[in-house]
A and B are shown apart, each in its own frame.
Chain A
Amino acid sequence: MGFLALGLTLCIRAALAQQPFIVVASTTSTEQSGLFAHLLPTFEKETGINVRVVAVGTGQALDIGRRGDADVVFVHDKPAELKWLEEGSGVKRYPVMYNDFVLIGPDADPAHVKGGKDIAVAFKTIADVKAPFVSRADKSGTHSAELRLWKDAGVDIDKAKGPWYRETGQGMGPALNTAAALSAYILADRGTWLNFRNRADLGIVVEGDKRLFNQYGVMLVNPARHPQVKKELGQKFIDWLVSPHGQQVIASYRINGEQLFFPNAGTDS
Chain B
Amino acid sequence: MDTISQSFALAVSMVAHLEPRLTQIVALSLAVSLSSTLCSALVGLPLGAAVAIARFPGRGPLIVALTAAMGLPPVVVGLVVYLLLSRAGPLGQFGLLFTPPAMVIAQTLLIVPIVAALTRQIVEDAWLEYREQLRSLDASWLQSTLTLLWDTRFSLLTVLLAAFGRAAAEVGAVIIVGGNIDGVTRVMTTAIALETSKGDLPLALALGVMLMSLVLAVNIGAHLTRQWARARFG
Contacts and interface: CB of A to CB of B under 8 A. Distances in A.
B184 A68 contact: no
A228 B197 contact: no
The prevalent SS among residues of B at the interface is loop
Contacts of B117: none
A78 B88 CA distance: 25
A197 B200 contact: yes
B181 A4 contact: no
A8 B184 contact: no
Nearest to A24: B181
Contacts of B86: 67-69
Contacts, number: 89
Given A174-B197, A195-B198, A196-B199, A9 B39 contact: no
Contacts of B87: 67-69, 226, 228
- Which residue of A4, A53, A66, A170 has the most chain B CB atoms within 10 A of its CB atom? A4
Given A52-B181, A54-B181, A68-B87, A5 B197 contact: no
- Which residue of B88, B98, B199 has the most chain A CB atoms within 10 A of its CB atom? B199
A187 interface: no
A183 to B, nearest CB: 15
Interface residues of B, number: 32
A12 interface: yes
Interface in B76-92: 86-89, 92
A228 B101 contact: no
Contact of B184 (A52, A196, A198, A226): A52
Contact of A177 (B96, B101, B199): B199
A118 to B, nearest CB: 29
- Which residue of B42, B87, B94, B96 has the most chain A CB atoms within 10 A of its CB atom? B87
Contact of B100 (A12, A32, A56): A12
B128 to A, nearest CB: 30
Given A8-B100, A8-B104, A23-B98, A173 B88 contact: no
| The 4 A-B residue pairs with the shortest CB-CB distance in the complex, in nearest-first order | A198-B199, A173-B197, A54-B179, A68-B87
Given A52-B183, A69-B97, A172-B197, 6 more contacts: A9-B101, A55-B180, A67-B88, A68-B88, A68-B92, A197-B201
Interface of B: 35, 39, 42-43, 86-89, 92, 94-101, 104-105, 108, 179-184, 196-201
